[in-house]
A and B are shown apart, each in its own frame.
Chain A
Amino acid sequence: MISALDKLSAILRRDLLTAVRHRTGFAITVLGLLTQLAAFYFLSRAIGPGFRPGGVEYFPFLLVGTGVYTFFVMSTQAFLNTVQEAQQTGTMEVLMTTSTPPAELVVLSSISAFAGTLVNLAFYLVAGIALFRAPIHTNAASLLTVLILSLMIAMALGIAAATVQITFQKGSALLWLLSSGAWFLSGALFPVETLPHPLALIAHAIPLTYAVEGMRMALLQGRSVIAMAPTLAILAGFSLTLLPLALWGLSHSLRRARQNGTLSFY
């Protein structure tokens, strides 16, 4: 346990130092998030107060939907970047020869990648609430539960993207699928119920849909854990299935890459 914490602190330190020393990148991310917020604020004003999906105002609806969606895409992207950079610089092979088991290393690295994007999500939501006066009604316990379950699903997606990257050198394909299909299917911009029936069926098979829905219930409607139990149960089902599956896939792909000598291919 102490050893795992020591390794996690080393990984967090590495990522924090790298991010801080990349000052321009940090400033561009903040500017990008603020621009996105402003665009959604004026979009909701243009649509007018009559449109209240799920009984909430459109701007907070968009704020939470796009915030959660951006969190999923950015965290998968951050984790994928870590793997791609490790392959390109040759760090990947060296990391795979340290005393830390590969699965542990990947989980610890993903925690660090997600910690960074979680800060982005918090900044996005707080800026939306403070600057554009988005009304909220939060249940802290529900929010924390949704956040933990969403984090587990995001980790699984990140690890799956890493697996695709190691196996086919095309992890960005999974990211493209996530960022294009899920953009309108997950209910980030408008309620899933407005989709045609076949598309709504697909939407309900995507974990991101439940993460967005759960976050809105917890942050905007103040629903208790019991009141939103069905959504939480589905999120738990996804996370408990996807995370072990992703770890198994990664372990299998690493073994295959060691056998084929393609660990550092990119």
Chain B
Amino acid sequence: MRHYNTESFRRILNDILMDRVVFESVSKLFRHRPALFNWLGRERGGATMALKDLSFTVGEGEVLVLLGPNGSGKTTALKLISTMLLPDAGSVRVVGFDTVRDGGRVRRQVGIAVATERSFFPRLSARENLEFFAALDEVPLRDRAARIDAVLRDTGLAEQADTLVMKFSSGMYQRLGIARALVKKPAVLLLDEPTRSLDAATTAHFWTTIRSLAQQQATILLATHNFAEAAAVGDRLLLLQRGDLLADRSIRSNESMEELRAFYFRMTGEVDEALRPIERAGRAI
């Protein structure tokens, strides 16, 4: 049994009452080692600094969007919260529990929908997959069937509940991933590019679901490179680039969406490619 001193209790109490997720000076480095028999010398060793001294907090019922181009460190941040990764420096705390020392307690609080589409058992149906993960997530047996029905309905998969997932499309896999993250009713929900393969109608429905979960006091961290998505669902936006935090802005503040959007594309140096074909077509935005 772990013993906590007064300082630990104060920190846990503060995290529970105030901040559900706390990043304190977190750094993450990925080392690349070349293959053993690197005859041609083409493969280079080295390291990638995925996150540099990142600090932020997320409160209860808050939707925090991690926005940034590819390789900015969004997914790494989510993986650090879920304990899939451990930090090299600094600390990550979830509801007061440190991800390194109290990984088990952290995992009970966190649900993650990963970007990997095929992270399911192909010869099981959607419902059977959810039943399997619900058992491992210790969802009480008496609530399990009702909860699974509810998340299947919420993600628009009720009709495909008994279809083997090997027959699913990319969008259906993605919805099932979200259903899996929701079934344990986590205090902290992590969503990595959740609408990447979804059609417009399902995306709109999903954004409504996210806002309603936040109203039920769930803390949500959503990683995306889609500014429209960030603006639609977020309360706050963390702008990341190559592991650096460029900005921490409240989306509900008076700052106009247009200013935020311009700021994003200016800071990241990204080109708003979506605008070009629209402009070329002579349409107003």
Contacts and interface: CB of A to CB of B under 8 A. Distances in A.
Nearest to B81: A97
B82 interface: yes
Nearest to A22: B123
A105 B136 contact: yes
Interface residues of A, number: 32
A98 B107 contact: yes
A91 B124 CA distance: 13
A258 B86 CA distance: 6
A17 B124 contact: yes
A263 interface: yes
Interface string B117-149: 111111110001001110111100100000000
Given A18-B121, A91-B119, A91-B120, A97 B110 contact: yes
Contact of A101 (B104, B119, B135, B137): B104
A29 interface: no
Given A10-B132, A98-B107, A255-B86, A18 B123 contact: yes
A101 B137 CA distance: 10
A18, A21, A99, A259 interface centre (most CB from chain B within 10 Å): A99
B30 interface: yes
Contacts of A9: 135
B83 A97 contact: yes
A17 B141 CA distance: 20
A96 interface: yes
A135 interface: no
Contacts of B242: none
Contacts of B110: 97
Contacts of B79: 93, 261
Given A6-B135, A10-B132, A97 B84 contact: yes
B84 A96 contact: yes
B158 to A, nearest CB: 21
Instruction: Tell me which of B107, B117, B118, B135 has the highest count of chain A C-beta atoms within 10 A of its own C-beta.
Output: B135
Given A91-B120, A94-B119, A99 B138 contact: yes
Interface string A1-19: 0010011011101100110
A96 B83 contact: yes
Nearest to A264: B116
Contact of A95 (B124, B128, B136): B136
B278 interface: no
A90 interface: yes
A62 to B, nearest CB: 35
Contact of A97 (B112, B121, B135, B141): B112
Contact of A261 (B30, B104, B135): B30
B114 A89 contact: no
Interface of A: 3, 6-7, 9-11, 13-14, 17-18, 21-22, 89-91, 93-101, 105, 255, 258-261, 263-264
26 contacts: A9-B135, A10-B131, A10-B132, A13-B132, A14-B121, A17-B124, A21-B123, A21-B164, A89-B116, A91-B120, A94-B119, A94-B133, A94-B180, A96-B83, A97-B83, A97-B112, A98-B133, A98-B136, A99-B104, A99-B107, A99-B108, A99-B138, A255-B86, A260-B30, A261-B79, A264-B116
